[in-house]
C-alpha cells in the first residue's frame, strides 16, 4: 500500500501543479513540476505541464525545451501533436 499512497500523493501534486498554472501562478507551478520531475524525469505529462507553465509565463524558449524533452521520451504521445 506504500506504493499506492505514493501514487495518490503524486497525483495530488500533479493536480496542484496544474491548478497553479491555470490560476496564474506560473512560477509556483514550475516549482511543483520541478519536484515531480525529480521523481519521474521521463514523465511526458509533467514535462508538458511545465512547458505550459513556461509558455503562459511568457518564456516560450524554455517551453520548447520541455516539449522537445517530452517528444524524446514519448514520441507517440498524442497531446504533443496539439502543440
pLDDT of 8: 75
Q: Using CA atoms, how far apart are residues 81 and 16, in angstroms rounded to an integer?
A: 25
Sign of CA dihedral 81, 63, 68, 12: negative
Look up cell 514550475; give the residue. Answer: 30
How much is the pTM?
0.86
Confidence at residue 49, expressed as pLDDT on a 0 to 100 scale: 97
Composition of the chain by helix, strand, coil, percent to 5:
80, 0, 20
Mean pLDDT by 10 residues, the chain (83 residues): 68 96 97 96 96 96 96 84 63
Amino acid at each position: 500500500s506504500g506504493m499506492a499512497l505514493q501514487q495518490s500523493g503524486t497525483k495530488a501534486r500533479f493536480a496542484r501543479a496544474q491548478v497553479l498554472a491555470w490560476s496564474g501562478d506560473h512560477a509556483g507551478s514550475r516549482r511543483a513540476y520541478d519536484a515531480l520531475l525529480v521523481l519521474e524525469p521521463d514523465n511526458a505529462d509533467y514535462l508538458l505541464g511545465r512547458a505550459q507553465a513556461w509558455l503562459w509565463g511568457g518564456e516560450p524558449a524554455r517551453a520548447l525545451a520541455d516539449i522537445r524533452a517530452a517528444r524524446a521520451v514519448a514520441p507517440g504521445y498524442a497531446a504533443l501533436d496539439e502543440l
